[in-house]
Amino acid sequence: MISYPCQANIFKKQLSSPNSNKAFTLVELLVVIAIIGLLSTISTIALNSARSKARDSRRLSDIHNLSLALEMYYSDVGTYPLSPTSTGIIGGLCLSDLGISSTCGVNTYLAKIPDDPKGSKHYLYSTVVNPQYYELIYEEETIPDDCPPYWVRVPGNTLYHTRTFCVMQYEAKIKGQDDGNQTYSASYEPESRISGTPWVNISQINAKSECESIGAHLVTEDEWLTIVRNIELQPANWSSGQIGSGYIPRGNSDGIGAAIDGTEPLTGVNKRTLTLSNGEVIWDIAGNVFDWTDATILGKDEPKGVANPSGFGVYQYSSLYSYGTISPERLLPLNPAWNSAQGYGRIYTSGVPTNMTTYAFIRGNHWSNGVEAGILALWLSNGPGNSSSHVGFRCAR
């Protein structure tokens, strides 16, 4: 008789074989889960980045096509169309011989005006000063450099040839110093932060160097005007909640004693914060201290307040005798009848025909100049090498 080993014993041996027990340990499972999670995160980031770039490509295409349509309209009509909305939102409307409206006329330039591909955003359109100038405001999602802490993103503006950029949220402070009123030293470093008073006693020349030392540049005139035009079109920045009604606050400008840090926003006409179309909040564009921009001008080329000026004077924009070599869309409020009563400030200018001195642009105003302060206020009496305890700066990138 042939005998066979018990099946139970065979199964027991198989189960106890060292090659038959290959389940994952807990540590191995955790490692695999972590790797899968990491790959998923990387894939999601890459996908979101690709989507953002695709939306930006469409934005640039939309702005290009809308600009072409506006130029065709201008060629036929001789002016640019007025925006039917005070906020500048025109997506979905028609551009035709009827202007911008919900219906198209005989000659259609753009049957349906595009809107931002992200539903929560909009392109903004408005004529500036008069129907000879227009602006399109738009924001890109991807820019070469992400904004550092306490910097804000500013949407681009076709009128000033700017694309989305970053600018200091606060006026530049001296890193490591709470008191910004110091004798200038090239060893100092600028930064944007809440604490501390603005860095003053610095010339335009040195302000440019300091911004460049941190991989940025002194805010340009085009960038300053881009910020101002954006602020103008936000109802929340107007005291009445309606564009053109009431005033845009002029910041710390009523003589509380000195420039202050970024802890107290103030209220009413002295409110220091203003909001951009993307929800970003910027401080002290109108008051606290003057800010250099990058531009210069000869005294003889400055706007004139009177026919035959003999020196410098302070004037309302709405009462200027001439604009010098500065074109209206770079000088005046959105509506040329608006002035300091609407929070735009005033201009200090010469325009004397024999004045061959070079002056730098100073924007905003300081803590004690009252109605002369404002988002468009402009002082043209300081040379690029001058410095003052009333003048600071901010950087952009």
Mean pLDDT per 10-residue run, the chain (397 residues)? 47 46 76 84 74 94 97 98 95 97 97 94 96 97 88 98 98 97 97 98 98 98 98 97 97 85 95 97 97 98 98 97 98 97 98 98 95 98 97 98
What span, in angstroms and rounded, lies between the C-alpha atoms of 327 and 306?
18
In terms of domains, do 315 and 273 share one?
A: no
Q: Give every CB contact of residue 87 below 8 A, 6+ residues apart in sequence.
A: 124, 233, 234, 235, 243
In whole angstroms, what is the distance from residue 321 CA to residue 333 CA?
A: 16
Q: Is residue 27 part of a domain?
A: no
* Coil, helix or strand at residue 69: helix
Residue 164: other Cβ atoms inside 10 A: 21
Cβ(317)–Cβ(347) under 8 Å?
yes
Alpha-carbon distance of 210 to 219, in angstroms, equals 12
- Contact, 191 vs 173, CB < 8 A? yes
> pTM above 0.75?
yes
- DSSP structure class, residue 89: B
Q: Are residues 220 and 160 in the same domain?
A: yes
Quickly list DSSP for 166-227. EEESS--EETT-S-------TT--EE--SSS----S--HHHHHHHHHHTT-EEPPHHHHHHH
Note the pLDDT of residue 22.
64
Q: Please, which residues have CB within 8 angstroms of residue 74's CB and are 6 or more apart in sequence?
A: 80
Residues 65 and 160 in one domain: no
Asked if residue 323 is part of any domain, the answer here is yes
Rg from Cα positions in the chain = 29
Same domain? For 381 and 331 the reply is yes
Instruction: Specify whether 274 is located in the same domain as 186.
Output: yes
Query: What is the rounded distance in angstroms from the CA atom of residue 170 to the CA atom of residue 156?
Result: 20
User: Same domain for 228 and 121?
Assistant: no
- Domain enclosing residue 372, as ranges: 290-391
Q: How far is CA 121 from CA 68, 89, 116, 137, 165, in A?
A: 22, 10, 6, 11, 17
Instruction: Give CA–CA dist 43/52, Å, rounded.
Output: 14
Are both 274 and 161 inside the same structural domain?
Answer: yes
Q: How far apart are CA 167 and CA 217, in angstroms?
A: 10
For 54, other C-beta atoms within 10 Å of its C-beta total: 13
What three-state secondary structure class fits 372?
Answer: helix
Number of folded domains that form the chain = 3
Rounded Cα–Cα distance for residues 47 and 84 (Å): 38
Q: What distance in Å separates the CA atoms of residue 284 and residue 123, rounded to the nearest whole number?
A: 26
Task: Tell me if 5 is assigned to some domain.
Answer: no
Supply the pLDDT for residue 28: 80
Structural domain contains residue 23: no
Asked, for residue 276, whether it belongs to a domain, the answer is yes
Distance CA 37, CA 46 (A): 14
**124 lies in a domain?**
yes
- Token reading at 248: 């845009």
101, 47: one domain: yes
70 and 49 in one domain? yes
Say whether both 92 and 168 belong to one domain: no
Instruction: Note whether residue 312 is domain-resident.
Output: yes
Name the β-bridge partners of 174: 190
Whether 246 is in a domain gets the answer no
Q: Are 260 and 181 in contact (CB under 8 A)?
A: no
Q: Which element (helix H / strand E) includes 56?
A: helix 26-77
- Are 270 and 295 in the same domain? no
Task: Give pLDDT tens digits for 12-64.
Answer: 444 444 454 567 788 888 888 888 888 877 777 766 778 899 999 999 999 99
Q: Do residues 380 and 312 both lie within one domain? A: yes
Which pLDDT score, from 0 to 100, does residue 123 have? 97
